[in-house]
Structure 1
Amino acid sequence: MFEQLTQLVQQFGQDAVVNNDAVPNEHNEAVMSEAGNSIFSSLEQMASEGGIEKLAGLLQGNNAQDPSNPAVQQITQQLTGSLGEKFGLSSSAASGVAGSLIPKILGGLVGKANDPNDSFQITDLIGAISGGGAQTSGIMDAISKYGTQFGLDQNGDGKVDISDAASLSKNSGGIGGLLGKLFGK
């Protein structure tokens, strides 16, 4: 996940950071690094503090690109504060950088995770931010909960699980297709 996140920060950081007069050139790389760190730590924090529904909501459709999404707002606010504190950016400059970067980077990250042609998958993202174990299970349970609302419960047992993936495998590519359908692909 770190490699994909770093690539996206570099990709979107050009306009928001490097070409931004409010960010001193000597801080460009550090500001972009801070953006990546803020995203990862915020997602980890949400997973560890029980913000599973917020995470599941972020991973659906185009929610990661929506600045009004609560998860996007939380990460943007964290980065804004960090940029002001660590690099002395004014609140408006820090807010502008964070507001420009966060939705684009998150949208790109979720887009890569949902792309069946990309080696990075949604399970990689969930595993990285949750640290595995019970938290991963909780996030997957939340996805299952949302999945029933989107008609992914193929056998009508009230949950989305491997048997539903097997039912979908003929038409949509197994668990990858199941998650892809859930997340709008």
Structure 2
Amino acid sequence: MFEQLSQLVQQYGGDAVVKNNAVPNEQNEDVMKEASSSIFSGLKKIAAEGGTEQLAGLFQGKSIDSSNPVVKQLTEQLTGSLGQKFGLSSETSSGVAASMIPQVLSALVNKAKDPNDSSFQISDIISAISGNSGQASSIMDTISKYGMQFGLDQNGDGKVDLGDASALASSKGGIGGLLGKLFGK
């Protein structure tokens, strides 16, 4: 997961870092590595602190902009880190973080929601950031709760689980239909 996240940072870091005259060219690569590390560790921290509702909301693609609490927290973390480790001004650090974080998270969520893109799977992302099955289960339960609101309980048992995924997989929409319904596509 970290490697895929790093690729997204490289993809979206061009304007925010490479083309940014306030970031010395010799620091471009290190700044992008720090961004990847900061996003990953920030997501893990949110999971560890019980931010399941925030993460579930993020993976539903709800307002992945500066108003999103996950975006805010990750932006603050990266801003501080860039200033501390690379001596960048607070304005430059804040600009880099505010530009990259929403783009990278939007791309991450969109790839995870895309049934034709197997490079990111929601379950893999949740497992990577949660670190233990209790947290992963809690996050998936929250996503399941939201799934109930979107009518994904295919077998009418009051929960969204593998039975519903199987029912959808054998139906016209398949797993792509399940993920599409869950994430609003």
AA at the equivalent of 1:171:
K
- Note if 1:173 corresponds to 2:183: no
Q: What amino acid maps onto 1:90 in structure 2? A: S
Mark the runs of 5 or more structure 2 residues left unpaired by the alignment.
none
Count of aligned pairs between the two proteins? 183
* 1:10 alignment partner, SS class: helix
Q: 2:163 corresponds to which residue?
A: 163
Deviation at 1:6, TM superposition (A): 1.2
Structure 1 unaligned residues grouped into runs of 5+: none
Cα shift readout 1:23-82 (whole Å, capped 9, x = no counterpart): 11121111101110011001101111110111000111353x322111111101100111
Q: Secondary structure at the match of 1:171?
A: coil
In the alignment, what sits opposite 1:51?
51
Which residue of structure 2 lines up, in the alignment, with residue 97 of structure 1?
Answer: 96
Find the counterpart in structure 2 of residue 81 from structure 1: 80
Question: More deviation in 160-169 or 32-41?
Answer: 160-169
2:31 corresponds to which residue? 31
In the TM superposition, what is the alpha-carbon distance from 1:19 to its structure 2 partner?
A: 0.6
Identity of matched residues, %:
69
SS at match of 1:68: coil
More moved, 124-133 vs 152-161:
152-161
Question: What residue number does 1:125 align with?
Answer: 125
Aligned to 2:15: 15
Q: Please state how far the C-alpha of 1:3 moved relative to its aligned partner.
A: 2.0
Corresponding residue number in structure 2 for 1:135: 135
Query: Relative to structure 2, which stretch is displaced further, 158-167 or 52-61?
Result: 158-167
Match of 1:113 in 2: 112
Aligned residues of 1:67 and 1:99 also touching (Cα < 8 A): yes
User: 144-153 or 37-46: which moved more?
Assistant: 144-153
- How many angstroms apart in 2 are the aligned matches of 1:72 and 1:27? 24
Q: TM (normalized to structure 2)?
A: 0.93
Aligned residue for 2:172, secondary structure, equals: helix
Deviation of 1:132 after TM superposition, in Å, equals: 4.1
Which segments of structure 1 move beyond 3 Å, counting only runs of 4 or more?
Answer: none
Residue identity matched to 2:40: F
Q: Which moved more, 1:132-141 or 1:26-35?
A: 132-141
Secondary structure at the residue paired with 2:109?
helix
Coordinate RMSD, CA, aligned = 1.4
Q: Indicate if the aligned counterparts of 1:62 and 1:107 stay in contact, CA closer than 8 A.
A: no
Amino acid aligned to 2:134 = A
Which moves more between the two structures, 72-81 or 149-158? Answer: 149-158
Equivalence map 1:1-12=2 (5 Å): 1-12=1-12
Would the aligned equivalents of 2:148 and 2:159 in 1 still touch at CA under 8 Å?
yes
